[in-house]
Structure 1
Amino acid sequence: MKHSLSSSSLSPGPSSSNLSSSPSTTTARTSWFSGFVWSSDKSSSVKVSNSSMPVGGDFGGPVKGKNQFRGVLLKYGPNPVQMSRLKIEKVAFKQGDYKQQVIFVGGLTDGFMATEYLEPLAIALDKERWSLVQLLMSSSYTGYGTSSLQQVAEIKRRRVGVDAKELDQLISYLINKEDSEGVVLLGHSTGCQDIVHYMRTNAACSRAVRAAILQAPVSDREYKATLPETAAMIDLASEMIKDGRKLEIMPREADPCAPITAYRYHSLCSYMGDDDMFSSDLSEDQLKMRLGHMANTPCQVIYSMADEYVPEYVDKKALVDRLCRVMGGAEKVEIEHGNHSLSNRVGEAVQAIMNFVKREGPSGWDDPWT
């Protein structure tokens, strides 16, 4: 779901010399998972040396000051994404040097520091000896509308399939290069769809996912239906797909924020499109078909009861109850008066996330396969 970006930004500023560096790739490292996943020699951290700096958050914590963040910028995945003439490196920002990581997966238009609760969350995680990892994917920022152009056949036309592959590459990097003992996935808005699809793929590294948190899992379709231009744009997208032009760009009025293909628009806005996972009018069987596999993973659903992207006619309490039920009894957190990104309820957001993370880990981290 599209939302306005947080004013917080990744600003190295005076703290750039304090970025911790990853271990040298010339030293062989193994982990409990190394026999099951691939490792890329080209994946490496951006290294800013400071040999006297201790690791793990003992160097002053992940936040130096307002909008000043300490951490490591790393490249994951074997190759950059090639979009037309643009070469997009797959990078992630890791705060803290611990063996337990929370990976934040943002929504439409999101990039680094997309929500205001990430800064205090990084501090809270560091105190519990967890790292916060934020990744940039080929769909980040304005790439969400065209991110599947180069891989549409391979992923059966699912944009979230591209994101799932890149998320798997990041987890592989953390296992092979950072000796990770497992991860918790934290999705915001459309990032929740990425997590749901990733866990359905049964990719090798998905077995390292200890738990999942879905913050603001809302229906893009139901929100878009409140806009006057949507019906005509859905008809146009359907015609373009029928004519074999599913990868062509829609008119600007379809999405003023970014170029978007007919397929991607149809996926977001049409009934039972690939992205239609959290709509209130889906039947119990339809919800189970899309979300039922999440019952195999401990899950938390954080729902904002004043989410501006949920139409007023939607019974939010009934909907979140249904979502948790079809996911096998996921933990429900209702945040009264909370907006979509919880910028007005930052403390409650961090408390809910930390309570869940501390309960679902660290017991069992030595053997996440169980």
Structure 2
Amino acid sequence: MNPSPPRSSKTSWTWLSGIVRGRSGKLENPQMTNNVNAGDVGGSVTRKNHLRGVLFKYGPKAAQVAFKTGEFKRQVIFIGGLTDGFLATEYLQPLSIALENEKWSLVQLLLSSSYTGYGTCSLKEDAMEIDQLIAYFINKEDSEGVVLIGHSTGCQDIVHYMRTNAACSRAVRVAILQAPVSDREYRATLPETAEMIDLASSMIREGRGMELMPREANPDAPITAYRFHSLCAYMGDDDMFSSDLSDDQLKMRLGHMETTPCQVIFSMADEYVPEYVDKKALVERLCRALGGAEKAEIEWGNHSLSNRVEEAVEAIVNFVKREGPKGWDDPWS
């Protein structure tokens, strides 16, 4: 979630600059990138909001494009939230440096649901495209396995994808959920939501779930009755991390993740978590439901961790280094 009120042809070397969502703040530690010069071929970062790597197609749809920094056989795949695209969070640039130092590639992918496409897509479609990307790395680049990092609604994508038990999901070694928060609980704080849930429910009953809702339901992007209901209704398809779900309901939605090493990175000042929610209690419950996931509570961190970049990178890299390589000799055994 970023809950907004929201094989290949040939690869080519490219400069990718400044494709950024507007919600992020300033990079807090720019000196991390200043020691990498444009002429340093081995480095993926040249200056702030500039990454050097490979831009490639991983599927037949126009949106199915990904950007990779680092030429390694182990990939960390970042899956953004609603309205996200390339360079969606401030920590991605320093994360690419840290992962490259550990011999990992960082991959940012575009899905059909990226940017303003989320309203006419679904978790099922996202999961299919994630599977296509992993298949690309297995078949085209002899991948030794992947790590999935979800930001916001990207966390729902990971949970849903791992439930599909798709063949390529066996190559997923680690799952990291950064800001797994409830779209439903946030949107319930908006005055128009209740009326629009009723409308969406009515449209779905009438067989019009794929038709668009009125503009006031979601001013930022067109949205179908199905996707609005999925994001906003109790036990909708996207409703996985709400504080009012029972332990049994959380287990039903998240319990299949117990076979995958999992980390929950939770921002303790997340602006999209209502004030009435006990964040510490919620994190504990989510970790239990996930089968004993490791928790990383970032004090004062906002939703995208733009104010806690170094802590975000440290938490991710330490977990990947510790859990990622286990069983890597044969990802398919």
TM-score relative to the length of structure 1: 0.81
1:136, distance to aligned residue in structure 2 (A): 0.3
Aligned match of 2:325: 362
Aligned match of 2:270: 307
Contact 2:45 2:97 in 1 (8 A): yes
Contact 2:152 2:180 in 1 (8 A): yes
Amino acid at match of 1:73: L
SS in 1 for 2:95: helix
Aligned counterpart for 2:111 among listed residues 127, 137, 140: 137
Aligned match of 2:36: none
1:206-355 equivalent positions in 2, closer than 5 A? 206-355=169-318
Contact 1:324 1:330 in 2 (8 A): yes
Amino acid at match of 1:121: L
Between the aligned partners of 1:258 and 1:67, the Cα distance in structure 2 is: 25
Q: Deviations over 1:208-261 (max 9, x none)?
A: 000100000000000000000001110111111112111111111111110000
Contact 1:45 1:73 in 2 (8 A): no
Between the aligned partners of 1:363 and 1:275, the Cα distance in structure 2 is: 30
Aligned match of 1:183: 146
Contact 1:45 1:72 in 2 (8 A): no
Aligned match of 2:11: 46
Between the aligned partners of 1:48 and 1:126, the Cα distance in structure 2 is: 17
Q: Deviations over 1:345-368 (max 9, x none)?
A: 000000000000000132432222
SS in 2 for 1:318: helix
Aligned match of 1:115: 89
Amino acid at match of 1:324: C
Contact 1:145 1:260 in 2 (8 A): yes
Contact 2:3 2:187 in 1 (8 A): no
Q: Deviations over 1:159-208 (max 9, x none)?
A: 10100000000000011111110000000000000000000000010000
Amino acid at match of 1:91: V
1:72 pairs with 2:54: yes
Between the aligned partners of 1:325 and 1:48, the Cα distance in structure 2 is: 43
**Runs (4+) of structure 1 moved beyond 4 Å?**
none
1:162 pairs with 2:125: yes
1:3, distance to aligned residue in structure 2 (A): 5.8
Between the aligned partners of 1:201 and 1:2, the Cα distance in structure 2 is: 23
Amino acid at match of 1:364: G
Between the aligned partners of 1:352 and 1:237, the Cα distance in structure 2 is: 39
1:19-98 equivalent positions in 2, closer than 5 A? 40=7, 43-48=8-13, 59-77=41-59, 79-80=60-61, 88-98=62-72
SS in 1 for 2:12: coil
Between the aligned partners of 1:48 and 1:116, the Cα distance in structure 2 is: 23
**Highest RCO, 1 vs 2 (Cα 8 Å, sep ≥ 6):** 2
SS in 1 for 2:148: strand
1:171 pairs with 2:134: yes
Contact 2:197 2:229 in 1 (8 A): yes
Amino acid at match of 1:134: Q
Contact 2:13 2:53 in 1 (8 A): no
Aligned counterpart for 2:156 among listed residues 193, 212, 215: 193
SS in 2 for 1:74: strand
> Which has the larger displacement, 247-256 or 210-219?
247-256
**Residue 116 to residue 48, structure 1, CA distance change in 2 (3 Å):** closer
Q: State percent identity of aligned pairs.
A: 77
Aligned match of 1:2: 2
Contact 2:3 2:186 in 1 (8 A): no
| Equivalences, count | 306
**Residue 91 to residue 307, structure 1, CA distance change in 2 (3 Å):** same
